Amino acid sequence: MTPDITLGESGDLVLQLTDYLTRLDLLTGPTETFDATVVHAVKTFQQNRGLSVTGIVDAITLRSLEEARWKLGDRTLFLATPYMRGDDVAHLQAQLSEMGFNCGRVDGIYGAATESAVKEFQKSVGVKVDGRCGPATIISLMRLKKIVSGGTPVALREEVRRADRGPALANKVVVIDPATTPDILDLADRLEGRLIALGVNVFITASSASNPNEHDRIDIANKSNPDLIVSLQQDHYGNKNAHGVATYYYGSDSHGVHSIVGERFATLVQREICARTDLLNCRTHAKTWDFLRLTKAPAVRIDLGYATHPGDAKRLADPDFRETLVEALMIAIQRLYLSAENDAKTGTMKVADLRSAGLCK
């Protein structure tokens, strides 16, 4: 694994990443020294990309820079091992999706679903059907794009699936992805118990005895075929004054996509928690973190305060406070599946209301 690249470092890897930043018009030219100008360019890239804004080039930022350098037409795209990744793939996926060809989520990864969509497109326009996106396919894509526009079918499919599942929580599948700290694990256990009592099928990605890496957590979540994925975390920061709750969902301005259901659930969670607790509202944010990007169902990460803030840490250590958080999460999950006419005002619904309304059946 490549070590993080930080202020003051130099060498060939710095020259490579500054070349990427130059191609993206974030620097005036490559340099071998990671100076303050490069730090600013990295932060700008991270902000635009929906990554954590640190100014440090970690493995995720470096991979994102490598992906960002590709434009559609730079290379022939095809199904390979490992999968081809890049902004050219994301552009292709976005164009295919807009024209009604189902390649799944726009994630910038040329997988089997993207190959299948390319073949369907090739068949429809009369070019060689081989699943490879080369010059002939790209020319046909650009010509057809001028006259065909289908909106955002992927987002619509996600919303339709949510609506089709109905308001009852029974038989829905929820994945809980907890940090392996005692307070978060206890919160996850409490949430699991409440959900099971309402007939929800619950899968948990980690425990005190098992702490899989991010890739394995994503794999566990996807294999569960979930309706919803809830990641429970605590944030950390060098300045102990940083505090509050924030929620994150998959979204990318550069790719022009976001999870409609994920954004809605993030908003519901944020509002319910802030209405029921005194945690500072740090709002909802679109991010392209792998856990949000590569999971196949709507996923939301909830940072329940800062472990580095004494007040936030004290709150989360209180069992009564954790019980309040569980109620907020339960109500947010239920409200996600309610129609507009049956929804309730933020902070007013109780878990007991779910039973009395028959929503657990």
Query: Is the pLDDT assigned to residue 259 strictly greater than 90?
Result: no
Q: What is the CATH number of domain 158-356?
A: 3.40.630.40
The CATH number given to 12-68 is: 1.10.101
For residue 151, pLDDT beyond 70:
no
What is the CATH superfamily name and number for domain 87-151?
PGBD-like superfamily/PGBD (1.10.101.10)
**What is the reported pLDDT for 358?**
44
What are 57-88's pLDDT values in tens digits?
998 999 999 999 999 999 999 999 999 999 99
Short-list 231, 205, 232, 235, CA closest to 220: 205
Cβ pair 211, 350 in contact under 8 A: no
Which ranges of the chain would DSSP assign to H, the alpha helix? Answer: 12-23, 36-49, 59-68, 87-98, 112-125, 135-145, 153-164, 182-197, 214-223, 260-276, 290-293, 310-316, 319-336, 351-356
**In degrees, to the nearest 5, what angle opens at C-alpha 334 toward C-alphas 333 and 336?**
70
Q: What's the burial of 352, exposed, middle or buried (CB within 10 Å: 0-12/13-18/19+)?
A: exposed
Rounded distance, CA 177 to CA 184, Å? 10
* Confidence at residue 158, expressed as pLDDT on a 0 to 100 scale: 64
Residue 266 has pLDDT above 90, yes or no: yes
Which pLDDT value is given to residue 349?
63
Distance, CA of 117 to CA of 224 (rounded, Å): 25
pLDDT attached to residue 131: 96
For the ranges 46-50, 185-189, 284-288, the maximum mean pLDDT occurs at 185-189
Assess whether pLDDT exceeds 90 at residue 237.
no
Mean pLDDT of 205-228: 95
Q: Which one-letter DSSP state was computed for residue 147?
A: T
Which tokens in the block code for residue 18? Answer: 């500054």
Whether 320 shows a pLDDT value over 60: the answer reads yes
Which of these ranges, 229-238, 254-263, 271-280, 283-292, has the smallest mean pLDDT?
254-263
Instruction: Say if residue 1's pLDDT is above 60.
Output: no
Q: Once rounded to an integer, what is the mean pLDDT over residues 324-345?
A: 82
pLDDT of residue 286: 92
SS3 of 278-339: the string is: CCCEEEEEEECCHHHHCCCCCEEEEEEEECCCHHHHHHHCCHHHHHHHHHHHHHHHHHHCCC
Residue 153 pLDDT > 80: no
Look at residue 154 and tell me whether its pLDDT is greater than 90: no
Query: How confident is the prediction for the chain on average, in pLDDT?
Result: 88
pLDDT of residue 175: 98
Query: With 90 as the cut, is the pLDDT of residue 300 above it?
Result: yes
Model confidence over 116-127: pLDDT tens digits?
A: 999 999 999 999
pTM, to two decimals? 0.81
| pLDDT at 247 exceeding the cut of 90 | yes
Per residue, the 3-state secondary structure of 225-253, as one string, reads CCCEEEEEEEECCCCCCCCCEEEEEEEEC
Contacts of 257 (CB under 8 A, 6+ apart): 94, 105, 106, 152, 154, 155, 251
pLDDT mean over 288-311: 94
| Domain 12-68 shares a fold with domain 87-151 | yes
Q: Which of 284, 287, 299 lies closest to 247, judged by CA?
A: 284
Q: What is the mean pLDDT of residues 169-176?
A: 93
List the one residue out of 199, 201, 203, 204 whose CA is nearest residue 185.
Answer: 204
Given a cut of 80, whether residue 199 has pLDDT beyond it is: yes
State the pLDDT at residue 174: 97
pLDDT at 45 over 90: yes
Mean pLDDT, rounded, for 90-106: 88
pLDDT value of position 292? 93
Locate the domains of the chain by residue range: 12-68, 87-151, 158-356
Specify the higher pLDDT residue, 163 or 44: 44
CA angle 120, 124, 128 (to 5 degrees): 75
Asked whether the beta carbons of 143 and 135 are under 8 A apart, the reply is no
More confident position, 320 or 103: 320
- pLDDT at 197 > cutoff 70: yes
- Tell me: pLDDT of 317 over 60: yes
pLDDT for the residue numbered 262:
93
